[in-house]
Amino acid sequence: MSVQFGDRIERSLNERVIQIKKAVDAAGLEGVVETVPSYRALMVHYDPRRTSQATLIDEIGPFLDQPASAAAAGTHWRIPTCYDPEFAPDLDYVASCTDMTPERVVEIHTTTPHYVYMIGFAPGQPHMGDLPEELAIPRRKDPRPVVEKGSIVTATGLSIIYPVTNASGWHIIGRSPVSVFDVDKNPPVLLIAGDTVDFYSVSRREYDDIQQMIDEGRFDPEQLKARP
Amino acid sequence: MTSFLHVLSPGMFTTIQDLGRFGHQDLGVPVAGALDPISLRLANALVENPEDTGALEIRIMAPGLRVEADAVRVALCGTDAEIEISGTQPRSIPSGQSVRLRRGEIVQISAIRDTSCCYLAVEGGFDLPAPFASQSTYVRGGFGGYQGRALQQGDDLPVASGAVPARTESRLFETPALESDAAIRVVLGPQDNYFTDAGLRTFLDGEFTITQDADRMGLKLDGPALEHSIGFNIASDGIATGSIQVPGTGKPIILLADHQTTGGYPKIATVISTDLPRLGRMRPGRKLRFEAVSVADAEQARRDLEAIVQRAIDTIGPADGTREPDIDKLMTTNLISGVFYVSE
């Protein structure tokens, strides 16, 4: 069952989705298997042996009548990102599309606060926004078969950090050494819906240093949390 | 001493699957799990496992295994093929019956012609980790099952019970047959409004063929293209197992167990859960049609199916006994389309 809140990507709609998800999860409704929030819809997976859509509409309906509450602030993260050409094969293309210098694209990307709308498609994969209109460009016509883990990609004003190497039709503008998904970690997922993210630019050398600390188990993700 | 099943040959795409990994899709973690959960449950029941114990999901070409344990018990379900045992005491065991195997015996399975997937359950299950509380292998994510991948030659699969006692073996006397040429039933939506009336008609009237592009994630279909009305990009939303998404080509893709948790193509309909095992068993080249049903009918079908599965499990008894099927009872209680009984 899908509870839909319009058809646009908009932070207020998404905060409503997350609010209703929390309410449904807390209610512990019989037969609800799990709830999956996305930009503007909440998918409620249920077991028809234990409940029905009609029952769930009666049970979930009242939650929708409650006024939107101020969203509880998510965790605020600072994610190191290397925008060197080696890691950003599409940065020049994005710059030329938007009539900016590559430096200006990086400046906008690192000064725009990003909101995590949803985690989805692949384990731990955050979908974040919104870049200003001037940086919102369409996806590639021809998806790339291989985009490396950690790549920061953008299209339509949104940004994604790739949790694993995968295909992508988005534009690669940087790479972070930080893993947003690691099945052996607890918790395995770094970012969750409702969090906020600032990207900050690091040199290739700083990238390698952080990567080495991660590889040697000396990197504590806690230090990625922004200090209030 | 640790007990193993040693993989002599891996088969086409053999993975460990249970009933799926629920409760983590909000973190982007897919459900995975058996393509035909009914046959998995029956195989587990035959070796007295909890129904959601991980078992080998065998795709078309079965693996060859050598028993490196004192005694293990296995059962095969979901196919008419047989377990073929070689060693000191060569024998064949039909599907739907448990068998105890001794150290050094070699297990193979005769040619599988009737399905794309079947299940070999092991008493006690596999002694393997369960990331996110499930042993289901999710190959794209590289976790679950045996090292997050399909079996390879030389693998040693640790079994939890390596010295099972002898007892009368069990047999499944009535099998719910999931093969049928009936239309695949769907509930329309949630984005059926992204299609023209002609597009929707084509979907419900047309005949589609499962292409070679078919795996645990989904089945790409060939057939008449479905006409979109207001484009083919949506703000990504949740996907259910059985969601039918239609990208710009107009050719539908049915998403199965390993589906991504969210997607940005419009979904014209969702296959009802009752018909998913039948779909999961289909091979490339198979033709199919769709029929729209109401949500209430879909939910009722799922409850009816559950009753059928439970009744099948209730027919499990000693393999050396005989049991007359109660034909009258079967005829009066399982008249739902798409699923029916065959008796022995």
* Contact yes or no for B235 and A40 at CB 8 A: yes
In terms of C-beta density within 10 A (0-12 exposed, 13-18 middle, 19 or more buried), how is residue A8 classed?
exposed
- The predicted model gives B124-150 an average pLDDT of 96
* Distance (Å) from the alpha carbon of A214 to chain B's nearest alpha carbon: 20
Spatial distance between the Cα atoms of B271 and B320, rounded to a whole number of angstroms: 40
DSSP category for residue B95 = T
**Contact state of A36 with B302 under an 8 Å Cβ cutoff:** no
Chain B residues close to A3, C-beta within 8 Å: none
Structure tokens at B325: 């099927």
Band (B84; pLDDT cuts 50, 70, 90): very high
Q: How confident is the model at residue A83 (pLDDT cuts 50, 70, 90)?
A: very high
The count of other CB atoms within 10 Å of the CB of residue B208 is 23
CATH 3.30.1360.40 domain locations along chain A:
2-65
A49: Cα separation from own chain's centroid: 34
- pLDDT tens across B32-44, in order? 999 999 999 999 9
Question: Has residue B153 got a pLDDT over 90?
Answer: yes
- Whether the CB of B232 is below 8 Å from some CB of chain A: the reply is no
Going by C-alpha positions, the residue among B170, B184, B181, B180 that lies closest to residue B312 is: B170
Q: DSSP code of B19? A: S
Residue B341 vs residue B102, higher pLDDT: B102
Range(s) within chain A of domains with CATH label 2.40.100.10: 76-224
pLDDT at site A207: 97
Instruction: Please check the confidence at residue A196 and state whether its pLDDT lies above 60.
Output: yes
Peptide bond between residue B190 and the one before it cis (omega within 30 degrees of 0) = yes
Tell me how far apart the alpha carbons of residues B95 and A18 are, in angstroms, rounded to a whole number.
47
Domain ranges of chain B: 4-169, 173-344
CB atoms under 10 Å from CB of B324, counted, come to 8
Q: How far is A41 from chain B (nearest CA, A)?
A: 6
Tokens representing A131 are 């870049």
Task: Write down the architecture of domain B173-344 according to CATH.
Answer: Beta Barrel (2.40)
Q: Distance (Å, rounded) from C-alpha B329 to C-alpha B344? A: 15
- pLDDT category at B337 given cuts 50, 70, 90 is very low
Q: Which of B70, B71, B62, B20 is nearest to B41 (CA)?
A: B20
Rounded-to-integer distance, Cα B194 and Cα B180, Å:
31
- Most confidently modeled of A173-177, B244-248, B330-334? A173-177
Across the interface, which of B141, B238, B295 has its CB nearest the CB of A123?
B141
Percentage of chain A lying above the pLDDT 90 cut: 79
Residue B344 has pLDDT above 90, yes or no: no
Picking from B331, B282, B285, B281, the residue whose alpha carbon sits closest to that of residue B308 is: B331
pLDDT tens per residue, range A205-222: 999 999 999 999 899 888
For residue range A176-191, what is the model confidence (pLDDT) as tens digits? Answer: 999 999 998 888 999 9
Token pair recorded at residue B181: 């040429």
Give the Cα separation of A184 and B184 in Å (integer). 39
CATH class of A2-65: alpha beta
- What is the per-residue pLDDT across B4-22, written as a single tens digit (0 to 9) for each? 999 999 999 999 999 999 9
Q: What is the pLDDT of residues B305-316, one digit of tens each?
A: 999 999 999 999
Please determine, for residue B342, whether its predicted confidence score (pLDDT) is greater than 80.
no
Tokens 């994610």, residue located = A79
The whole-number pLDDT of residue A119 equals 96
Residues 6+ apart with CB under 8 A from A178: A79, A80, A150, A161, A190, A210, A214, A221, A224
Q: Is the pLDDT of residue B90 over 60?
A: yes
Angle in degrees, CA B28, B32, B33, rounded to 5:
150
Q: What is the pLDDT of residue A205?
A: 96
Question: pLDDT of A94-114, one tens digit each?
Answer: 999 999 999 999 999 999 999
* Mean predicted confidence (pLDDT) in B125-148: 96
Any chain A CB within 8 A of the CB of B205? Answer: no
What is the average pLDDT value for chain B, to the nearest integer? 92
Contact of B248 with chain A, judged by CB distance below 8 Å, is answered with no
Q: Is B131 in contact with A183 (Cβ distance < 8 A)?
A: yes
* Residues of B in Cβ contact (< 8 Å) with A21: 26
Confidence at B341, pLDDT banded by 50, 70, 90: very low
B211-228 tens-digit pLDDT? 999 999 999 999 999 999
Residue A56, pLDDT > 90, answer yes
CA–CA distance, B35 with B273 (Å, rounded to integer):
11
What pLDDT sits at residue B339? 43
d(CA B157, CA B148): 13
Contacts of A39 in chain B (CB under 8 A): 235-237
Residues of B in contact with A37 (CB under 8 A): 26, 238
**What value does the mean pLDDT take over residues B154-168?**
97
Nearest to B120 by CA among B216, B32, B17, B31: B17
pLDDT value for B30? 96
Supply B236's token pair.
């990504």
Determine the average pLDDT of the residues in B286-308.
97
Q: Are B21 and B31 in contact (CB under 8 A)?
A: yes
> Which ipTM value was assigned to this complex?
0.91
Rounded Cα distance between B44 and B145, Å, is 16
pLDDT value at residue B14: 98
The residue count of chain B comes to 344
> Among all residues of chain B, which has the CA nearest to that of A8?
B235
How many A-B residue pairs are in contact by the CB < 8 A criterion? Answer: 112
**Which candidate from A35, A45, A123 shows the least CB-CB separation from B240?**
A45
> Which residues in B37-72 are b (16+ Cβ under 10 Å) and which e?
bbbbbbbbbbbbbebbbbbbbbbbebbbbbbbbebb
Instruction: Provide the 10 A C-beta neighbour count for residue A35.
Output: 25
Per-residue pLDDT, B323: 60
Cα(B309)–Cα(B243) distance, integer angstroms: 24
CATH code at A76-224: 2.40.100.10
Q: Side chain identity at A228, as an amino acid letter?
A: P
Mutate to test the interface with A, among B22, B25, B137 (most CBs of A within 10 A): B25
